[in-house]
């Protein structure tokens, strides 16, 4: 037998053993063991201090076996099987202070994660053995490594929710969330959503306008359908929460730029969403996102839902006030501005101060505006205005700034199926009341 075969035999066998040993080491060095060990050490230290301070020797002696038990660390993966929701949550493998079996009080004296107990008294009413963790916090319940468990890895689309976005989880079941003290950001978010007229374009589960996408299941929208390429966000931040926030903190035109000049064939307008970011403070944007993140496609068992009666329309005695309420309720503000002050951006619609000769035509097209109502409603009679609201203005009827530019993305839908009867009368009364005087012919 040649020497080389003998040498390869020796080297091969040694390498086999070494590579196998490496596999064994890797398998035994699981990240969660580190946290379990630290937790037991912390507990033992706490008990030792307690024993040292204890005066009564009898009690002192009775605590000793407990200390010995604490020092005997038995590593194990702990999990909660959440039958109703078909989830397996292994979070308590590291977050031992929140394991309902080993620590039923769910409190510890440690202040640091993952050793601390669960803050608040949520778990008194939401038993973790019944609900688990991820149904509220999201993340990957099956995982036992920090990054993967917190869902901050590739191919996991629901990273752990941090406050205030965590409030979205309350809203998923609690229709009465507006009266829950913890969910105040989500309550504010819902109010902002209404006040700024988001409903005018975005329906939620069928209620609202048809100009843009229904947001009823936006929180579970697959990442494959979102295009972050112009967002400037790092790939690790590509998730639905940031997608919603982008729309509220940046100009949607900047990350959904479309192709207004038609390089790729037909001119395509950028995102039609007006620049709401100019109006929103950071916490307002966060509030809206906290509310929208509750719009999840996953269905819960029906007994999980907490129902609330629909809020009745406020009883207002003046027609103008009622009309103003109708204006807000159907989201007219989305295009025509809060309190109808100023029409919002509509790309390549005719607006003021547009210069067909300017070098940056995209900026000029972006000056396109939806009608500013006080300026325009005065030119209509009451019946004309009613007809206008009922039939809307289809996009091909909107006057373009650049004739060969893209069709403006925003248009007025026909509201005749939604706004009718007394509501329509009140709305028209309100609109005519804000028309600028002195421009009537």
Q: What single-letter DSSP state applies at residue 297? A: S
Please report, for residues 92, 281, 321, the alpha-carbon distance to residue 390 in angstroms, rounded to integers and kept in the order given. 57, 34, 21
Least gap, CB of 364 to other proteins (angstroms): 24
How far apart, in whole angstroms, are the C-alpha atoms of residue 192 and residue 178? 13
Instruction: Name which of 100 and 216 has its Cβ closer to other proteins.
Output: 100
Q: Does position 68 bind other proteins by CB under 8 A? A: no
The residue written with tokens 């076996």 in the block is: 65
Least gap, CB of 34 to other proteins (angstroms): 15
Q: Which conformational region is residue 337 in: left (phi greater than 0), alpha (psi within -120 to 50 degrees), or beta? A: left
Binding residue (CB under 8 A) for other proteins from 72, 125, 206, 224: 224
The torsion angles phi and psi of 395, rounded to 5 degrees, stand at -60, -30
Q: Does position 234 bind other proteins by CB under 8 A? A: no
Contact 268, 165 (CB under 8 A): no
Instruction: Name which of 228 and 304 has its Cβ closer to other proteins.
Output: 228
Q: Does position 228 bind other proteins by CB under 8 A? A: yes
Question: CA quadruple 371, 377, 383, 389: dihedral positive or negative?
Answer: positive
Instruction: Name which of 55 and 381 has its Cβ closer to other proteins.
Output: 55
Interaction residues for other proteins, span 132-191 (CB under 8 A): 140, 142-145, 148, 155-157
Instruction: Name which of 41 and 77 has its Cβ closer to other proteins.
Output: 77
How far apart, in whole angstroms, are the C-alpha atoms of residue 200 and residue 94? 46
Whether residue 114 has a cis bond before it, omega within 30° of 0 = yes
Q: Which conformational region is residue 91 in: left (phi greater than 0), alpha (psi within -120 to 50 degrees), or beta? A: alpha
Least gap, CB of 60 to other proteins (angstroms): 15
From residue 305 to residue 344, what is the string marking binding to other proteins with x (rule CB under 8 A)? ----------------------------------------
Instruction: Name which of 264 and 403 has its Cβ closer to other proteins.
Output: 264
Interaction residues for other proteins, span 199-218 (CB under 8 A): none
Stretch that binds other proteins, among 99-107, 112-120, 392-400, 413-421 (CB under 8 A): 99-107
**What 3-state class would DSSP assign to 55?**
coil
Hey, what's the torsion of the CAs at 309, 313, 316, 320, to 10 degrees? 170
Binding residue (CB under 8 A) for other proteins from 72, 74, 263, 281: 263
Binding residue (CB under 8 A) for other proteins from 53, 105, 181, 397: 105
Binding residue (CB under 8 A) for other proteins from 12, 163, 301, 394: 12
Q: Does position 229 bind other proteins by CB under 8 A? A: yes
Q: Does position 29 bind other proteins by CB under 8 A? A: no
Burial of 229 (0-12, 13-18, 19+ CB in 10 A): exposed
Q: Does position 265 bind other proteins by CB under 8 A? A: yes
Contact 190, 308 (CB under 8 A): no
What's the token pair of residue 410? 């925003």
Q: Where are the alpha helices (DSSP H) in 240-360?
A: 240-249, 252-255, 282-292, 319-329, 333-336
Please give the helix or strand (H or E) that residue 361 lies within, else none: helix 361-365
Instruction: Name which of 75 and 305 has its Cβ closer to other proteins.
Output: 75
Q: Does position 77 bind other proteins by CB under 8 A? A: yes
Instruction: Name which of 33 and 325 has its Cβ closer to other proteins.
Output: 33
Least gap, CB of 53 to other proteins (angstroms): 18
Instruction: Name which of 30 and 416 has its Cβ closer to other proteins.
Output: 30
Stretch that binds other proteins, among 221-229, 287-295, 320-328, 351-359 (CB under 8 A): 221-229
Q: Does position 6 bind other proteins by CB under 8 A? A: yes
Q: Does position 125 bind other proteins by CB under 8 A? A: no
Burial of 425 (0-12, 13-18, 19+ CB in 10 A): middle
Contact 80, 89 (CB under 8 A): yes
Instruction: Mention every residue, 6+ apart, whose C-beta is less than 8 A from residue 237.
Output: none
Q: Does position 22 bind other proteins by CB under 8 A? A: yes
**What 3-state class would DSSP assign to 369?**
strand
Instruction: Name which of 109 and 113 has its Cβ closer to other proteins.
Output: 109
Least gap, CB of 99 to other proteins (angstroms): 10
Instruction: Mention every residue, 6+ apart, whose C-beta is less than 8 A from residue 298.
Output: 220
Q: Does position 47 bind other proteins by CB under 8 A? A: no
Instruction: Name which of 129 and 422 has its Cβ closer to other proteins.
Output: 129
Return residues touching other proteins (CB under 8 A).
1, 5-6, 8-10, 12-17, 19-24, 26-27, 76-77, 79, 81, 86, 88, 90, 100-101, 103-105, 129, 140, 142-145, 148, 155-157, 222, 224-225, 228-229, 235, 263-265
């Amino acid at each position: 037998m040649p020497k080389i075969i003998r040498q390869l035999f020796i080297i091969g066998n040694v390498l086999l053993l070494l590579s196998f040993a490496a596999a064994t080491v890797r398998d035994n060095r699981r990240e969660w063991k580190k946290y379990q060990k630290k937790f037991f050490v912390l507990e033992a230290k706490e008990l030792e201090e307690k024993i040292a301070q204890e005066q009564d020797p009898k009690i002192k002696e009775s605590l000793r076996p407990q200390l010995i038990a604490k020092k005997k660390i038995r590593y194990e993966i702990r999990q909660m099987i959440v039958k109703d929701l078909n989830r397996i949550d292994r979070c308590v493998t590291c977050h031992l202070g929140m394991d309902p079996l080993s620590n039923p009080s769910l409190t510890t004296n440690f202040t640091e994660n993952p050793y601390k107990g669960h803050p608040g008294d949520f778990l008194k009413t939401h038993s973790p053995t019944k609900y688990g963790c991820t149904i509220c916090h999201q993340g990957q319940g099956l995982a036992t490594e920090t990054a993967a468990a917190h869902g901050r890895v590739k191919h996991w689309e629901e990273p752990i929710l941090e406050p205030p976005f965590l409030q979205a989880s309350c809203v998923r079941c609690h229709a009465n969330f507006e009266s829950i003290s913890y969910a105040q950001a989500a309550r504010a978010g819902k109010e902002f959503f209404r006040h700024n007229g988001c409903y005018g374009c975005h329906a939620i589960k069928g209620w609202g306008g048809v100009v843009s996408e229904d947001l009823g299941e936006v929180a579970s929208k697959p990442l494959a359908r979102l295009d972050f390429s112009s967002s400037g966000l790092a790939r690790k931040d590509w998730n639905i929460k940031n997608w919603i926030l982008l729309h509220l903190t940046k100009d949607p035109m900047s990350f959904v730029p479309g192709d207004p000049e038609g390089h790729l064939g037909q001119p395509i307008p950028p995102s039609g969403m007006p620049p709401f970011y100019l109006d929103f403070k950071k916490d307002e944007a966060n509030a809206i996102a906290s509310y929208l993140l509750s719009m999840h496609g996953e269905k819960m068992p029906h007994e999980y839902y907490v129902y609330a009666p629909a809020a009745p329309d406020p009883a207002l005695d003046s027609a103008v006030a009622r009309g103003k309420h109708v204006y807000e309720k159907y989201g007219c503000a989305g295009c025509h501005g809060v309190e109808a002050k100023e029409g919002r951006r509509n790309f390549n619609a005719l607006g003021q101060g547009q210069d067909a000769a300017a070098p940056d035509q995209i900026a000029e097209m972006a000056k396109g505006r939806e009608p500013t109502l006080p300026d325009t409603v005065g030119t209509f009679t009451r019946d004309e205005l009613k007809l206008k609201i009922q039939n809307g203005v289809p996009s091909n009827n909107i006057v373009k700034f650049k004739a060969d530019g893209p069709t403006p993305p925003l248009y007025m839908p026909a509201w005749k199926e939604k706004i009718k009867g007394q509501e329509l009368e009140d709305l028209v009364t309100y609109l005519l009341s804000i028309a600028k005087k002195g421009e009537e012919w």
